[in-house]
Structure 1
Amino acid sequence: MEERSLQSEISSYIGKLLRDNFGKGPASVYVTIQKPYVTIYLKDFLAPMEKLLVGQNNKDKVEETRDLLMQELIPDIKATFRATAGLELNSLYYDWSLTNRSGMIIGVIQSDEELDPSVKDYQHKAALHEEIKKVSKQAEKIPEEVSSFKINDRTIVVERNGILVAIEKEMIRSGFGEQLRMAKRRLEKRLLHQLSLEKVLQLKVEDIFVDWDFDSDLSHIILIVKPES
């Protein structure tokens, strides 16, 4: 299938899936396929009841409910990608920016293809990695490895390996993974917003998303930036 048609089909599918399960779908769904990633950026995604809870400062309840629903939807999403797009998703991550009424779903595609050099090498990459290490050190520890890719003119994906500390691993083993995820989201996003990322990248940062694969001790940070004019 031609890439533009594929992106359009995925966009329609995700919009309908979220509308059917959340009661309201996003106004816009932006899909990018740049192996080994597929990113799905959601705009204007907040149901009326969620809006009420956010207004009452109950964001955690909204995120907890969304996380539960997404866990149920992940197998369907993976199966649909496999059947309609021929893409095998090894893993799927997601995060929300309730204040901006936006969201991000990112899939890691099983692929042996080499990344385009322009995706791996972009301006200010080394400086960005140093800032990410600062946040990681404050929140847990310096990652064993940091890599990043600018998969389009608006989206930077940062991957961190080896960031969990002993107490976090024990919480996960004890069944407190969801509570840990919620706490880490709040902490890391607050620290990321405090950084001078815009000065480092020389681009306006419009959205920040974070998620983890605790079993693999792996994390993804997704930055949505305003393209250079």
Structure 2
Amino acid sequence: MSDKPTIVLVHGAWADGSSWNAVSRELQSQGFTVQTPPNLLRGLTGDAAYIASYLAQRTSGPVVLVGHSYGGAVISGAGAAGGDVKALVYVDAFMPDEGETVFAILGGSGSALDVPDPTTVLDLAGYPGAPEGDAEAFLKPQTVHQSFAQDLPEADRLLIASSQRPITLSANTTPAGAPAWKSIPSWAVIGTEDRVIPPAVQRSMAERAGATITEVAASHVSMVAQPQASIDAILAAVASLG
């Protein structure tokens, strides 16, 4: 229907648009236009600018902008910079304030990624054109199985491990810009079994943003494991538009 907002789903690190398939399929069945643009995973400033440009060029009318994990940091930067974004939905996501970085948010949190030696949970690899000292980070297979998607069937975990899109280390150390959640209403879905962004960290960020919070007994990839929670939060955001 023409009066329905467009729903734009932004994936996080080590994922692609297919991570939203269960959510997309249901929303499309309800008549929504759903888009899942690529998140470049190269650097927070550039990634946010890309999504803002995508919104400006590829959407018309109101938008509900949704981000998972690192995608939350991206939509925080993009939400007020392109398109007519009316609501933000964060799923197991970062909601940084201006000047914060992903790694700093995780520091001291008990995250499976907050370890003295990152190479115990990540595999690092150089990439063409990388700034000096930068590298791509891949999740080690055991990190996927034990901490990233521990509530998914083994076959799904194996697929995630083999098809992951890496994120640069620099994307996680780039300070966030002014956040869209200060001017746009937000919702947050918190996976209570999330071992990547611990629930307490998610809750603190969501409360700071004044988000409407829901919880689901799921891992960091709750939109895969328990997609209805994400669907419900998105529909609540849609309903708020009147």
Shared fold, TM over 0.5: no
Larger helix proportion of the pair: 1
| Superposition TM-score, scaled by structure 2 size | 0.25
Query: Structure with the greater relative contact order (CA < 8 A, sep ≥ 6): 1 or 2?
Result: 2
Larger strand proportion of the pair: 1
